[in-house]
Chain A
Amino acid sequence: MMRLLCAAFLLLAAVLPVAAVEPDEMLDDPVLEQRARDLSDEIRCVVCQNESIDSSNAEIAGEIRLLVRERLVAGDSDQQVLDYLVARYGDFVLLRPPMKPTTYLLWFGPFLVLLIGVVSVLVYFRHLRRAPAMPPALSAEEEARLARLLDAEAGEGGDAKQP
């Protein structure tokens, strides 16, 4: 049982992202260090493919990790640190895209698609309900025509039997 638990834990540990923070980078103040770690998780390593600076070993990621800590120690708020980086690398440096007019489609696009789907389904079912399952009864005109046709057929059949 114990062995199984250990194996499960190891498996879990293997899939967790590994932080790249070097011990000498860490701050002595645990509160500030935690803020730096949380912030680093939101900042994209600018030379990696979709990796945060917290998990990247790139030199520039290390440099930005140090910079984040320096600015936090200097008294910057989290937002000020992010603003500082956005001023240099643009929104690209943020792993969570900001909400602004150019990103509205990104944020609301999925809901828009969902809305189109819901409207399409509603229209489809309304159409189905309105379309009757049975054809409408024949009009008087059609009844008369049907009777004429049936009569004509009966007459033909009768003729064939009596030459």
Chain B
Amino acid sequence: MLRRLLYLLPVAIFAVIAGYFLWGLSPERDPGNVPTAMIDKPTPDFDLAAVPGLAVPGLATADLAGGEVVMVNFFASWCVPCRAEHAYLTAFSEESGVPLYGINHRDKPEDAAAWLAELGNPYQRIGADPGRAAVEWGVTGVPETFVIDGAGRIRWHHRGPLVPQVIERDLKPLIAALQP
């Protein structure tokens, strides 16, 4: 009996290896996806000046612990996916009433101002980030979006553009759960 089971061993090993290959080839898996370590942590210490030429104030840690759920979005005028997500981000912020704060990453102030003048400005505050704030937040590129709860803790971190699928699948249920 034991010997019979031993004959099945190569089949079992093959099944395990095939399982890994299947996982590796899965179209759902994105090997470029960097895991986030920021969930449930307080927002990092930062204080960013306003973008010159824009009517909205800058952004600092203190602005994120006001007792309400807010979204923080890293964006730049040179970033094409930011342009793609802009309309969805604007619509979601207006629809849900969740304040949207922006961090303008490695951008020229005049470019950022022109970009927002063209597409509309959904951000209530925008901090100008020469580069360091992105590292403080564990950001790898733009666009990336965070949801901060009323206590100033990071509850959600999304890398890449906020497309409708992600908003429907992840963002809406989370906001509904966080808002009283």
Contacts and interface: CB of A to CB of B under 8 A. Distances in A.
A88 B141 contact: no
B180 interface: no
B131 A88 contact: no
Given A59-B106, A60-B141, A88 B136 contact: yes
B5 interface: no
Given A60-B134, A63-B131, A63-B132, A90 B140 contact: no
Interface string B117-144: 0000000000000011011111011000
A90 B134 contact: no
Contacts of A46: 34, 140
A21 to B, nearest CB: 16
A111 interface: no
Interface residues of B, number: 18
B33 to A, nearest CB: 10
A60 B140 contact: yes
A87 B136 CA distance: 10
Contacts of B54: none
A64 B106 CA distance: 14
Given A46-B140, A47-B140, A88-B138, A59 B36 contact: no
B132 A90 contact: no
The secondary-structure label for the interface of chain B is loop
Contacts of A67: 132, 135
Contacts of A59: 106, 131
Among B35, B134, B137, B140, residue most surrounded by chain A Cβ atoms (within 10 Å): B140
A145 B5 CA distance: 38
Interface in B23-73: 32, 34-38, 41, 44
A107 interface: no
Contacts of A88: 37-38, 44, 135-138
A46 B106 CA distance: 17
A163 B5 CA distance: 60
Contacts of A92: 34-35
Interface in A35-55: 46-47, 49
A89 B132 contact: no
Contact of A89 (B37, B44, B141): B37
A69 B44 CA distance: 20
Interface in B141-157: 141
A86 B135 contact: no
10 contacts: A47-B141, A60-B140, A63-B131, A88-B135, A88-B137, A89-B34, A89-B36, A90-B35, A90-B36, A92-B34
Given A46-B34, A89-B138, 19 more contacts: A46-B140, A47-B140, A49-B32, A59-B106, A60-B134, A60-B135, A63-B134, A67-B132, A88-B37, A88-B38, A88-B44, A88-B135, A88-B136, A88-B137, A88-B138, A89-B34, A89-B140, A90-B34, A90-B37
Q: Which 8 pairs from chain A and chain B are nearest by CB?
A: A88-B138, A90-B37, A46-B140, A63-B131, A90-B35, A47-B140, A89-B138, A46-B34
